[in-house]
Amino acid sequence: MKTHRTQVLIVGAGPAGLLLGQLLHRAGIDSLIVERSSGEHVLARIRAGVLEAGTVALLDEAGVSARLHAQGQPHHGFEMAVAGVRHRIDLQALVGRSVTVYGQTEVTRDLMEARLQTGRPTWFEAAQVRLDDFSGSSGAQVRASCVVQGEAREIVADFVAGCDGYHGVCRASVPPQAIHTYEKVYPFGWLGLLSNTPPVAPELLYTRHERGFSLCSMRSPTRSRYYLQVALTEKVEDWSDQRFWDELRSRLDPETASSLITGASLEKSIAPLRSFVAEPMRFGRLFLAGDAAHIVPPTGAKGLNLAASDVRYLSQAFIEHFQEGSHAGLDHYSSRCLARVWKAERFSWWMTSLMHNFDQEPEIQRKLQQAELDYLLSSEAAQRVLAENYVGLPF
């Protein structure tokens, strides 16, 4: 069997894995990325759209932000509609910071392009990825294997970064007694639609409505992304474009609804909503990052940003190790990440609880939600707390 040696084996070519590979490359550290899917498949997944300033800064540091700065849209605020009335959350005025609207697909495309330029290996369509030894107890290196184009390959590395998402193999390779997981599954999902139509509002619009939550987002002045809260039993096949647009219109205030421009969908999919954290995030020579370690419901726009902040800590830790022989960053990795992760989990859960319909919950829940919304929309102090979390907490 062919053996490939590298310093860091990265499992997963999503934004976390690709960004880690790029930051390590800039520091002269070698990596091998193994990805289960094809590059086209990775790029076809439509996901996040909102980048915190800290994420943009990290993409700057990685040298992959030229297109982001040319095409990304700075957003200085967003809107929340409740009981048919739109309220603006002025991020700039409240906390002096903004976010950038630039699709995850584009971030991934920029990172893949950069990876290609480095000449370092990425094995797409790698099947049966297996971590055979990462305990590090004997000081031994990581041993892993996979099958690429029918050929079995062995990998030997100093470390392995599990950037393989919620359903990946890395977290699943950890002995159950060594890991603790916390999980909350929400009783609904988001049905998303992407279309080549101008956005209905200049900024993101989060709407709380009796028929369910909706979000009007965008990718560019000519491309929109919309979401509807739907029951977990809904099937995407049952949602024609017409049904989607009709339902969205019914959840918007009349003025917004009348200015909605509809068109053929480029993509439609349903995502379940979940809060999930695995602790710790390090096991011997294995380090989990991004969705492999934690999931947030998308209402707070935090998932991709959290993946980036993990990668920031992990790349620094590897660089310290390889350049200075220091273990400190590696030893603190899990606790540093988790401190930030739990705050983003709290915020995402709060935003989700605030804006969705929870029909099955006791009636008092509705009244409490209403009171929370009334307080938020009438208190500048409460809005500042929202804004501070939305733009991203400091590292």
The residues assigned a catalytic role are 75, 206, 298, 302, 390
Query: Which residues have a Cβ under 8 Å from the Cβ of 395 and sit 6 or more positions away?
Result: 54, 309, 312, 340
162 binds ligand RFL (CB under 6 A): no
Residue with smaller CB distance to ligand RFL, 145 or 316: 145
Distance CA 347, CA 44 (A): 28
304 binds ligand RFL (CB under 6 A): yes
Q: Would you state the structure tokens that stand for residue 53, as one six-digit string?
A: 């300033």
Q: Which residue of this chain has its Cβ atom nearest to ligand PHB in the complex? A: 49
Q: Helix, strand or coil for residue 227?
A: strand
Residue with smaller CB distance to ligand PHB, 22 or 299: 299
Q: How far is CA 147 from CA 127, 129, 152, 214, 240, in A?
A: 5, 7, 4, 42, 39
Q: Is the dihedral of CA 261, 263, 265, 266 positive or negative?
A: negative
Classify 183 in phi/psi space as left (phi over 0), alpha (psi -120 to 50) or beta: beta
273 binds ligand PHB (CB under 6 A): no
Query: Which residues have a Cβ under 8 Å from the Cβ of 393 and sit 6 or more positions away?
Result: 340, 343, 344
Give bridge partners of residue 11 from the DSSP assignment. Answer: 34, 162
Residue with smaller CB distance to ligand RFL, 36 or 75: 36
> What is the pattern of x (binds ligand RFL, CB under 6 A) and - over residues 104-123?
x-------------------
Distance CA 76, CA 250 (A): 27
49 binds ligand RFL (CB under 6 A): yes
12 binds, among ligand PHB, ligand RFL, none (CB under 5 to 8 A by kind): ligand RFL
- Which of these ranges, 72-80, 85-93, 163-171, 236-244, lies near ligand RFL under the rule CB under 6 A? 163-171
> What is the pattern of x (binds ligand PHB, CB under 6 A) and - over residues 180-219?
------------------------x----------x-x--
CB 281 within 8 A of CB 307: no
Residue-wise burial string across 86-112, b where 16 or more C-beta atoms lie within 10 A, e elsewhere: eeebebeebbebbbbbbbbbbbbbbbb
225 binds, among ligand PHB, ligand RFL, none (CB under 5 to 8 A by kind): ligand PHB
225 binds ligand PHB (CB under 6 A): yes
> What is the pattern of x (binds ligand PHB, CB under 6 A) and - over residues 306-335?
------------------------------
* Tally of CB atoms within 10 A around 185: 13
290 binds, among ligand RFL, ligand PHB, none (CB under 5 to 8 A by kind): ligand RFL
Q: How far is CA 198 from CA 136, 226, 265, in A?
A: 53, 12, 13
Instruction: Pick one of 8, 12, 29, 256: the residue that binds ligand RFL (CB under 6 A).
Output: 12
299 binds, among ligand RFL, ligand PHB, none (CB under 5 to 8 A by kind): ligand PHB
Site residues for ligand PHB, 30-69, by CB under 6 A, read: 48-50
Classify 198 in phi/psi space as left (phi over 0), alpha (psi -120 to 50) or beta: beta
The closest of 330, 357, 262, 337 to 8, measured between CA atoms, is 330
Q: Which residues bind ligand PHB (CB under 6 A)?
A: 48-50, 204, 215, 217, 225, 298-299, 301
Q: Which residues bind ligand RFL (CB under 6 A)?
A: 11-17, 34-37, 42, 47-50, 104, 126, 129, 163-165, 167-169, 190, 192, 271, 290-291, 298, 301-305, 307
